[in-house]
Amino acid sequence: MKLVFASHNKGKIQEVKDILGPLGIEVEPIPEDFPEIEENGTSFEENAKIKARAVCHATGLPAVADDSGLTVDALDGFPGIHSARWAGPDTTAQERNLLLLEKMLAVPDGQRGADFVCVAACVFPDGQEMTVRGQCRGTILHEEHGTGGFGYDPIFCVPEFGCTFGELEQEVKNAISHRARAFTALGSALRTKLEEGE
Ligand code: IMP
């Protein structure tokens, strides 16, 4: 089986190849000049499906897309699907982190739980669709720790490791991340589908 993956991000493409390759699933990225897909859904699931449908429709091949973000308990799931852009299109990741920490100034320890969420969708040319979700539970610190990773990594503390995603080795983060969990679940779902001979 050959899949097109709706991303230009080399790290993500490699992660998907590493997980799906051993299952005999060939993964190729979308062409460089693929037009921007408008993510106007109201959930991670909808946005991932919107992207996967657009790529499947354009290429005629099974297509995979993912959508991810941070959901903070004390902020009713905010920033959620708006994680990349809620503070404006030109803000840096560090500015977003500081703005988020400001919103949480009054939130005491013990109520600072959050999840990184990743939903992967796969859409097939015959119209079949599947989505799987991967989550990673943690807490939001009061200031940034570590300089690794990207986005909200420096303020997201993983209790099992007692440090932030920004302080973890990239390989360790990649092994336990919401994205790894979603893609691993996708691999299992696709293997089941292949074994059923569909
Ligand atoms: P996308 O699904 O790649 O568009 O990611 C949406 C946004 O969620 C990113 O721009 C980040 O702000 C945030 N995000 C998703 N995954 C991670 C992660 O592993 N670490 C830090 N931030 C993340």
- Residues 41-56: tens digit of each pLDDT: 999 999 999 999 999 9
Cα 84-168-80 angle, rounded to 5 deg: 25
Q: Compute the 3-state secondary structure of the chain and give helix, strand, coil in percent, each to the nearest 5.
A: 40, 25, 40
Phi and psi at 91, nearest 5°, equal: -75, 150
Per-residue CA distances from 23 to 69, 178, 186 (Å): 27, 20, 11
State how far the Cα of 183 lies from the Cα of 99, in Å rounded to an integer. Answer: 30
pLDDT at 23: 85
Q: Which atom of ligand 1 is nearest to the CA of 67?
A: 2
Residues in a beta bridge with 50? none
Q: Is 67 a catalytic residue?
A: yes
The list of the chain residues with pLDDT below 70 reads: 198
Closest residue by Cα to atom 7, ligand 1, is: 84
- The secondary structure element, H or E, covering residue 103 is helix 93-103
Ligand 1 atom closest to the Cα of residue 66 is 2
133/43 Cα distance (integer angstroms): 12
> Is 69 close to ligand 1, i.e. is its CB under 6 Å away?
yes
Pocket test for ligand 1, best of 50, 68, 167, 179 (most atoms within 8 A of CB): 68
What pLDDT shows up at residue 198?
Answer: 59
- Smallest Cα–Cα separation from 119: which of 170, 72, 174, 64? 64
Q: Which residues contact 187 (CB under 8 A, 6 or more apart)?
A: 19, 20, 23, 25
Catalytic residue among 66, 67, 115, 153: 67
- Pocket mutation for ligand 1, best pick of 70, 99, 157 (most atoms within 8 Å of C-beta): 70
For residue 148, the one-letter residue type is G
Q: Is 150 in the pocket of ligand 1 (CB under 6 A)?
A: yes
In the reported structure, the alpha carbon of residue 189 is separated from the centroid of ligand 1 by a whole-number distance in angstroms of 23
Alpha-carbon 43 to chain mean position: 13
Contacts of 119 (CB under 8 A, 6+ apart): 43, 44, 45, 47, 48, 66, 67, 68, 131, 132, 133, 134, 182
